[in-house]
Structures are given as structure tokens and as C-alpha cells.
Amino acid sequence: MNNHDFNLQPSVDRGHLTTELVNAKSIDLEERDTQSLVDIFVKEDINPQLAVSNAKDDIVRAIDEISSRLKTGGRLFYLGAGTSGRLGVLDAVECPPTFCTDPNLIQGIIAGGESALIRSSEGLEDQDFAGKIDLKKKNFNSKDSLIGISAGGTTPYVLGALNYALSINSLTISITCVPKSQVSMRSDIDIRLVTGPELLTGSTRLKAGTATKMALNIISTCVMVRLGKTYSNYMVDLSATNEKLLDRSLRIIRDLANIDRNTSLHLLSQSKGSVKKALLMAISGISDLEKIDQLLVDNNDNLNEAIASIKKNESR
């Protein structure tokens, strides 16, 4: 942005926000030795864990509501600007390799588009209409869910998107790191991760970013559990597409089916690289891949439900 384009008359004084306050513990940062610097950051990073814990009831609601919508054809979108937007995109792009989801199921939107992931474009967050435009480009609709992320809760790009989502009866969830008494966020579920003033004043890529990443990790992983993408505490809905994932896949099949590595490799080959299908073959004794596919279709692609149906039939 050129100097002559910059608005030198800000419409809002954000100095009262918790995320903008000066942290009394770190007013002497430049005077500390490196050991002391690291110590204070380590101690402060306990706060994001506490903030997430304090918000757990709203996080639970978000997980259940998102899961319900995804099961009925909806999608999940993360939307934010700057660090908040990058964290949303990061969580979204990790879902396909971890849970074998369709890339369209969970998507991240950042103000400024993909280029903003590697090059700062924070000025774009001031456009309250842009969030709506970006959602409409994705054909965002009433079946979908939106998580709007704004550390200070005042980002026009995010607020505009939430307002649009509310207007079409989509599920709206806000994540911000300031108390409700300071900023109002219009959303169905209002998640507050109050982490306190940053050690580097106003740098919400620190504690606020850490708490946000933690919350998103919990939300997406628990949603995938609800969708049947896990078995016990293993990620069984993955494909062996590289050496690391092949090794992990074989260990998962070996551990859960209680068979040796060679047998696991044989089943994985029969299932065309699908851990879930290989496991179902091992547990059910069915070697016909078409029958395995149908078994999963009949049970909402859920391994737990498919195994339960097999056991139920065996008991008759």
C-alpha cells in the first residue's frame, strides 16, 4: 500500500482491547539475557492452554453443530486475515492428508487470497464487503458452517463474512481473544480465547495465535472423530501415498487387526492403499473389495459402524 493510499484517521481506537494492552511482565525485553527471554515466553505460553480450557463448553457446541451439518451435506469454512487467516488455511489443508477428506469439505479463506499466505496483505482486512464476496465465490450456503477468526474481534473482513453467513442461516462460529465485555461478535457460537496482553505488545501471532491453533486442532480432529474418520485413537481414514504414510499404515493395520506386517502389506495392496478397507478385510474376513466398499456405504463410511454391523450379524 502506498503512503498516499493509507488512511491516517483510524475510525476505531483499539487500545483498550486485551490483545493490544502492554504486558507489565515484559517491559524490559531488550534488557534481558537470552535465558531470561526464553523463560518468560515459556511461562506465558501456559495462558493459551488455560484460555482454551475456559472456552471448552463453546468448543464442544461448535464440534457437535459442525459435525451435524457435515453429515447432511454441508461444508466447513475457516475465514480470517493475517495470522488468523493463515491458521485457518493451515488447519484446512491438513485434513485431506490426515483424514482422507475431500479438499472441498473443509476450506480455509484468507483475506487477499493464496498470495497472502506468504506475503503480508493486512490492508485487505479492512474491507468488510470482501468476506462476503469470498464466501459467495465458494457458493457458501445455508448448509455450511463458518468459523470467523479475529484475534481482536474487530476485523471488518471477518465481521462482514459472519454477518453474511448469519443472513442466510448458515452456522456461524466466531473465535476471538478478547472478553465479551470489550467486543461483541455476532455469531451462533462465540468462542473466547482470552490469553491476555502479548509479551510483544499487539503481536497476536504469539499467545493469541497459539490458542487459536490449539482450538482449531481440537475442533477439526473431534469433528473427524464424529464423522468416523478414526478408530480407537488411530487415523484409519488415510491412504499410503508416500513412504512415511505406508509405514504408518502398516503399523496401524498390524496393531488394530493383530496381524503381522507382511499380512498387513498384502491387505493394504488388496485395498488399493486404503487403511480403513484393509482393516475391514482383516476384521471381517471378507476379501472381495466390492463387498467391503458396499459394507462401508451401508454404514456411512464409518469403520466403527461397519464393524458393529458385522458383529451384530454374527450374533444372530
Report the largest interatomic distance among the alpha carbons of the chain, rounded to a whole angstrom.
78
The packing angle between helices 243-257 and 261-270, to 10°, is 110
Q: What is the 3-state secondary structure (H, E, C) of 34-50?
A: HHHHHHHHHHHCCHHHH
Active site residue 305: no
171-176/189-192 β-pairing: parallel
Catalytic residue among 125, 198, 290, 305: 125
Active site residue 198: no
**Helices (H), ranges, the chain:** 34-44, 47-54, 56-71, 82-99, 130-137, 156-167, 207-226, 243-257, 261-270, 275-284, 289-298, 303-314
Cα separation, 224 vs 232, in Å, equals 12
Catalytic residue among 65, 94, 122, 305: 94
C-alpha cell at 252: 496401524
Q: Give the length of the chain.
A: 316
Instruction: Specify burial of residue 90 (Cβ count, 10 A radius: 0-12, 13-18, 19+).
Output: middle
Closest CA to 78 of 105, 108, 106: 108
Q: Which residues are catalytic?
A: 94, 125
